[in-house]
A and B are shown apart, each in its own frame.
Chain A
């Protein structure tokens, strides 16, 4: 990722990595008007993300990272600035992007398989034709034996795997994740991190990941964007050049500890707030 010069919209450029540019934001700001006055949630955010990149946004609560994700997804309009997906303005949700939340948001009356097929149904696609694909994805997230189970029969980690499978059947170009493992215990979170990395790497999916867990961000990402609150701004971008594939052992690497420390120093006084 490189800092984008403000030259307005252009044809899809090529990033520093030599790969296709997937997402760009130009001068993105968001001001919420409340009865007590207005709050600047985001100020002048310029980022660029290339195909296949895993980019994390880290910051304390209120730094606007979730707001930024909502704007990129097309769910929330920006006050000023633009978001480009493959060079085109985003003003509404796109089938090229899939969204994952902190809660799995499964429908309790549907089995795992039917939850995974929900996007296909909503898009009016041929569900029968997509069933084999859905089963492959369910197998990939390790839930093959649970395809006929209902959500409440599954643990929290397994439910989040279903949510991952649901978004992957979409075959999204870009996967947007808003603290997807924030509600899981540390061990499950680690397992999910490894699984997410394996799946998205092999499918070459571009990932935008929001978290307040620095370790998780550094472990997963090619780039970490550090954000600070009041107003929500990008305070720095870090390249994570740890070799891939990464394993739990990667965390022993002295470079890993250095990167975590760098993220902390970019957060500055806000980590102690």
Chain B
């Protein structure tokens, strides 16, 4: 029902026969069009799956026929087997949970911080004029350079990785919150003023909800960034976690296992993304898609 445009002049249920026939023909034409669309949808779906199959076949065939060195690129089936054995190792759950924890905490704290600072910047222009130049300056720095510093400051444990994830994740939320709140149409503000709405009412009845679709796009980016932050933090110095495992297997030239860890990380990233995508569709139903 979301996409249905209701027409005030739509034919009423009681129709004369000629109009009824026309309506029937119209419905039939619409049904035909829908069937055709559904068929095209399937063609594209099959096409997309085929591309994936071709990539997997190449991945399997190239090392198999020695077109690339199997040590550099182990065949797909070998990676799949490495994944199968890796998840059964007794040490695996501990590494997985540590990294998941870093990602989720980093994502939540980063999102909260981005929201708070973004709202402050949008709502109080003096605050924006005072600190926005520093926010932009900070964003211009590639945050990865802080990773060794964070290890020095916060140690080899999870804290330094969480801080890294927060630092990378909070920025897209901040910018989108600020831009979203500032993009409230002038007429909507005027309407609320003409009703003598308080600034607080303007914020929670109009501005925040208006900004929410834009904020949520930032939140989705924040999750992906939190994954990057946690892994980079672990690369630089860690005793445990998936990033630590990946580094370890690289050094040991167990590339099949390294690939297996990458597959798991890709799965975490995708799961988070689709979970947020689902939440977006459910809660921000008015978004123009």
A contact residues, total (Cβ < 8 Å): 30
Query: Is B7 located at the chain interface by the 8 A CB criterion?
Result: yes
Contact (Cβ within 8 A) B193 A154: no
Chain A binder among B119-127, B152-160, B183-191, B259-267: B183-191
A122 located at the interface, meaning its Cβ lies under 8 Å from any Cβ of chain B in the complex: yes
From B288, which residue of chain A is reached at the shortest CB distance?
A152
Q: Contacts A93-B196, A105-B191, A122-B205 given; indicate if A155 touches B7 (C-beta within 8 A).
A: yes
Q: Which of A94, A105, A123, A149 contacts B188, CB < 8 Å? A: A105
CB-nearest residue of chain B to A104: B187
- Is B286 within 8 A of A108, CB to CB? yes
Q: Are A107 and B206 in contact (CB under 8 A)?
A: yes
Q: Is the CB of B286 within 8 A of A99?
A: no
Could you tell me if A123 and B195 are in contact, using CB atoms closer than 8 angstroms? yes
Whole-angstrom CA separation of A153 from B1 in the bound complex? 8
How far does the alpha carbon of A203 sit from the alpha carbon of B129 in the complex, in Å?
49
Would you call A256 an interface residue if the criterion is a C-beta within 8 Å of the partner chain's C-beta atoms?
A: no
Contact B194 A75 (CB under 8 A): yes
Q: CB of A121 within 8 A of chain B?
A: yes
- Chain B CB within 8 A of A48 CB: no
CB pair A152 B190 closer than 8 Å: no
Is B194's CB under 8 angstroms from A122's CB?
Answer: no
- Contacts known (A109-B209, A149-B6); A99 close to B197, Cβ less than 8 A: no
Does any Cβ of A come within 8 Å of B67's Cβ? Answer: no
Q: Which A residues from 138 to 192 make CB contacts under 8 A with B?
A: 142, 146, 149-150, 152-155, 157-158
Q: Which of A217-269 contact B (CB under 8 A)?
A: none
Q: Which of chain B's residues have a CB closer than 8 A to the CB of A107?
A: 188, 205-206, 209-210
Judge if A29 is at the interface, Cβ distance under 8 Å: no
Residue numbers in B under 8 Å from A98 (CB-CB): 194
CB distance from B209 to the nearest CB of A (A): 5
The CA of A147 and the CA of B68, in the complex, are separated in Å by: 65
List B contacts of A93 (CB < 8 A). Answer: 193-196
Within 8 Å of chain B (Cβ to Cβ): is A135? no
Contacting pair B196 A118 (CB below 8 A)? no
Contact with B along A105-120 (1 / 0, CB 8 A): 1011100000000110
How far, in whole Å, are A122 and B187 apart by their CA atoms in the complex? 16
Interface members, chain B 152-206 (any A CB < 8 Å): 185, 187-188, 190-197, 201, 205-206
Are A121 and B205 within 8 A (Cβ)? yes
Q: How far is the CB of A110 from chain B (nearest CB, A)?
A: 9
Q: Are B190 and A99 in contact (CB under 8 A)?
A: yes
A60 CA to B188 CA in the complex, in Å? 25
On whether the beta carbons of B194 and A73 are closer than 8 Å, the reply is yes
On whether the beta carbons of B194 and A99 are closer than 8 Å, the reply is: yes
A119 partner residues in chain B, CB cutoff 8 A: 195
| Nearest CB of chain B from residue A216's CB, rounded to whole Å | 20
A150-B8 Cα distance, complex, nearest whole Å = 14
CB–CB A95/B196 < 8 A: yes
Give the complex CA separation of A94 and B286 in angstroms: 31
B5 within 8 A of A: yes
Q: Nearest Cβ distance between residue A270 and chain B, in whole angstroms? A: 27
Q: A105-B185, A109-B286, A121-B205 are in contact. Are A99 and B191 (CB under 8 A)?
A: yes
Taking CB as reference atom, which chain B residue is nearest A191? B8
Given contacts A99-B190, A121-B205, contact A153 B4 (CB under 8 A): yes
Contact A142 B205 (CB under 8 A): no
The smallest C-beta distance from B88 to any residue of chain A, in angstroms, reads 47
What 10 pairs between A and B have smallest CB-CB spacing?
A99-B194, A108-B286, A109-B286, A122-B195, A122-B197, A105-B187, A105-B191, A93-B194, A101-B187, A119-B195
CB pairs A–B below 8 angstroms (18 shown) = A99-B190, A99-B194, A103-B185, A105-B185, A105-B190, A105-B191, A107-B188, A107-B210, A108-B286, A118-B205, A122-B195, A122-B205, A153-B1, A153-B4, A153-B5, A154-B5, A155-B5, A157-B8
Given A122-B201, A154-B6, output 12 extra A-B contacts at Cβ < 8 Å.
Answer: A73-B194, A75-B194, A97-B194, A99-B194, A101-B187, A101-B190, A103-B185, A105-B185, A121-B205, A154-B5, A155-B8, A158-B6
Which residues of B come within 8 Å of A, CB atoms?
Answer: 1-2, 4-8, 185, 187-188, 190-197, 201, 205-206, 209-210, 285-286, 288
